[in-house]
Amino acid sequence: MTGRRRLTSPRPYKLLTRTAAVGALLVTGCGVLPGASGNSREPLTVVTWAPGGATGPDTVNMAGMTAMARTYARWANSNGGLDGHKLRVVTCDEADTSAGAANCARLATKEKAVAVVGAYSRHGSSFMAPLEGARIPYIGGYGASDEEFTSYNSYPINGGQAALLAGNAQQLARSCERVSVVRPDTLGGDGQAWLLKTGLTEAGRPEPADIRAAETATSYDEAAGRALQAAGTNDGCVTAVLEDRTETFFDSFRRLEPSYGNVRISSVLGSVGQPLIDSTGGRNSPFEGAYLTGWYPDSGDARWDRMREVIRKHAFGDNRIDPDDTGVQTTWIAYTALNELVKSVDAPQITAGKLVSALNHGAPVDTGGLTPVLRWRYKDMLGSSAYPRIVNTRVTFQMVRHGRLVADKKGFVDVMETLSEASAKR
């Protein structure tokens, strides 16, 4: 992030030459859409991008997000489109590279997209500038890059990793006497530790033990040993935020744990989620009993029922779409937001400029309770130097019980004060 220390875990840009793979979806033929009042409503084009399964070291596969975007389009167009506008979704494989992200941003301009919606990329410095130049809004990204929370062109639906860490501190403060934080030994990791420290000390708990670990390690025995010792055996907790290496850390942790007694484990969604819990044994997973902080309601909540029905009827068995996956859920919410915005514009033609105007003037977005009602006026934003574009400072507390993520506390928890405090004192 320009002009400040990163508070999210950065990833090095990879100089790969893989070209972004592009797919477009236009469901239903020409003519009047079912439910439309006439032929005056023009189609609208949006772009969704995400890494589609690149095989490079430490690359991320979020193909479920582009698949969910296509599924949403099929469902929306079978029901008359968005406020009578046929929805055309163009997808792009971002390949988890800076070059791929830039290619996808250029594609959005070429396709005359009115928005980029529900996308994933860790390379905000590569994709945001081209979008800003073309004045194409970035609506409801996953929150994987710092630029999503600083660029005037971005309209986030969650508080990113910063909100998760602030929430994780509050969740742990309820029952943990001492906490060890295992995080990357990077500048971004320094920010993670600071957020957790701020949240814990605000709640009257001691400062956490800060355990630095290599991002690319294949074993974390040494870090696990130090974390367990620092947490102690009496109501101690160990939280790890190592993204895709979190599973590796807890493998090391479980091998050492018996010699230290019973210590509660914790993380945030994105580092641990239902798909990982399922793949590591479900009820017998090493994550059984863990505390987790998320952006949205747990995946068993009834507010996800419509999404699940849409997937069942319109995904045609696409096994890339896991309704329990946070990326898939983010894309669903982002397209729900787009639908609400298009309705608020209520015009024969939807342009990027009209969407930006609706966003900046505070058109309310109701996501069916999956987030608070969202608005992106200046007065709705957190406005701190570190996270100026955050409008949703609420998180959910969850835990793993019988192999499933369930609510640890009902409703949302607002972490605005912790985020503001951490930003002011950083």
| pLDDT tens for the chain, residues 1 to 426 | 333 333 333 333 333 333 334 444 443 332 333 333 445 899 999 999 999 976 566 778 999 999 999 999 999 999 999 999 999 999 999 999 999 999 999 999 999 999 999 999 999 999 999 999 999 999 999 999 999 999 999 999 999 999 999 999 999 999 999 999 999 999 889 999 999 999 999 999 999 999 999 988 888 999 999 999 999 878 899 999 998 889 889 988 888 876 666 788 999 988 899 999 999 899 988 899 999 999 999 999 999 999 999 999 999 999 999 999 999 999 999 999 999 999 999 999 999 999 999 999 999 999 999 999 999 999 999 988 888 999 999 999 999 999 999 999 999 999 999 999 887 666
pLDDT of residue 38: 45
Q: Are strands 138-139 and 154-155 parallel, antiparallel or unpaired?
A: parallel
Q: Which of 111, 129, 104, 109 is nearest to 44 (CA)?
A: 111
- Of residues 332, 270, 320, the one with CA closest to residue 295: 270
In this prediction the pTM is: 0.89
211, 224 in Cβ contact below 8 A?
no
Rounded CA gap, 308 and 406, in Å?
A: 17
Q: What is the pLDDT of residue 95?
A: 94
Distance, CA of 254 to chain centre: 28
Q: Determine the pLDDT at residue 235.
A: 86
What residues form DSSP beta bridges with 22?
92
Residues 244, 214 contacting (CB under 8 angstroms):
no
Residue with tokens 């250029």, as numbered in its chain: 106
Alpha-carbon dihedral angle through residues 421, 269, 159, 209, given to the nearest 10 degrees = 20
* Residue 21 Cα distances to 55, 118, 162, angstroms: 14, 17, 31
Task: Specify the pLDDT at position 425.
Answer: 64
How many Å from the N-terminal Cα to the C-terminal Cα in the chain? 14
